[in-house]
Amino acid sequence: MTVAHYDGYTYDFGRTPKKDLEEVINQIERNKPLKPVSIFIPSTKKHSIDLDSLKSGNPRLTSSANHILTTLSTQKYPNELIIGFDQAEKEMTDIFRQLLPEFPYRAVVIWNDDPRIKQWEKKLKTERNYNILPGKGLNLWKTLIYVFEQKNRYKDAKAPVCVAHDMDIHPSVYNETFVPFLVHPIIHPQTNMNFVKAYYERVRKKDKFNYFMGRMRRHLIGSLLLALKRSLIGNNTYVGDIREYLGSYKYHLSGEIAIDPDLIHEMEIPPDRALEIGMLLNMYGKNKRIGQADLIIYDHEHSPLSSDDPEKGLYKMGVDIDKFILRKIDAGGVKELSEKAVYESIKSHLKNTGNEMLNGTLVVTKNRPSFDFDPEERDVRDMCIDCFELAYSTYKEHPRELAQLPNVEKIPVIYRDRFMDIVEDQNPFLKEMRK
């Protein structure tokens, strides 16, 4: 594996040729005794089970879930598959377990709606004041507890590398290279990354045309970073560093990541929709080796804009992301951020940079005859300006509220043990592995 680019913040590993897959998997296999691989897939009933099939009495997995799980069942290098199952009743969880293919390694299903887990979460909220919010962040955090505790609980267990991706990846883009190419930069002894994030081209085909997706990356993050550069605080050293650091990422909002075991135990997790950007900002300034891997092309189920409701869809995500970035800048000592003139400066530039991003997308689209310009792109631009206004208002009221879920080492052992007991009750074969 060669490093395609290093910009002072991240190593860009570029695109690994498919012909290298066999050697990549061999490398993972050779290092399995030291760095086993656990694959984590957060999912919900909706994204795992074809709900229409339930009506016919012949339940089946969704096309995406079936393709992903079938693909993974043919691979021998993983040590474990962990599925965090959300928004599902016990009956649906039992059906889901029955629909799983056979894997040549253990498959653990964590039913997050188990009343015992809900009670456990309630205790953490009331007794420890943890910011327990339903969603992917909480799902990942609980999985990291399980992953972290393995070496303390099970015979001959090694702390694994954790690879995470979603269950709604379109079957046309998910294949056997997905996980190996993402985890390899951590496994390879000469690259030795702590964290790897995927990037890719986001394209959706509709009728006879293709459309560029990734609109929130362009209009929410891209426009804001450019507006910050041109604003009254654009010359601030800390703001410049944050801008450059985030600017080094090709796709900030990708949910496909790999985490080294040395990093797992110290990761704080944002519980809201700022999960992806929050994880990146949490690593800023901590001297971690961060890589990016090109997974070529990607498509998945898209969230609605919900531009009339800031508590839903992309609107909710945009507000949470902007709040996190603003609070991170404030926490870095940039007190001018709270001044009205600075706010007006950022907002004014944000409108201009939004138009620039819009025109840039139009230019790139025209260069590809099989592509068309998505008319919803303008709606996303306008909504992202609204996101900033609402996020800034919330930031002003609570400038230091970065209430994240703590790293697993900070969770008292009694709570970690209780969670592991519940997971073992849900997956009885784990009890046989106890020390």
DSSP string, 369-388: TTB---THHHHHHHHHHHHH
pLDDT tens-digit series, residues 183-228: 999 999 899 899 999 998 877 777 777 777 777 888 899 999 999 9
pTM: predicted TM-score of the whole model, two decimal places: 0.93
List Cβ neighbours of 213 (8 Å cut-off, separation of 6 or more).
202, 203, 204, 299, 302, 374
146/423 Cα distance (integer angstroms): 8
228/231 Cα distance (integer angstroms): 5
Determine whether domain 5-423 maps to CATH 3.90.550.10.
yes
407/264 Cα distance (integer angstroms): 8
What is the pLDDT, as a whole number, of residue 1? 44
359/425 Cα distance (integer angstroms): 55
DSSP string, 196-234: EEEEEEEEEEETTEEEE--HHIIIIIIHHHHHHHHSTTT
What is the pLDDT, as a whole number, of residue 2? 46
How would you class 237 by CB atoms within 10 Å of its CB: exposed for 0-12, middle for 13-18, buried for 19 or more?
Answer: exposed
Nearest residue to 11 (alpha-carbon basis) of 332, 246, 277, 292: 292
pLDDT tens-digit series, residues 97-117: 999 999 999 999 999 999 999
Coil, helix or strand at residue 50: coil
Asked whether the CA dihedral 400, 404, 406, 412 is positive or negative, the reply is positive
List Cβ neighbours of 202 (8 Å cut-off, separation of 6 or more).
212, 213, 214, 217, 251, 297, 298, 299
Low-confidence residues of the chain, pLDDT below 70? Answer: 1-3, 298-307, 402
306/279 Cα distance (integer angstroms): 25
157/171 Cα distance (integer angstroms): 33
Nearest residue to 305 (alpha-carbon basis) of 297, 316, 295: 316
**Please, are residues 222 and 250 in contact by the beta-carbon 8 Å criterion?**
no
What is the pLDDT, as a whole number, of residue 252? 93
Coil, helix or strand at residue 41: strand
φ and ψ at 210, to 5 degrees?
A: -100, 150
310/321 Cα distance (integer angstroms): 12
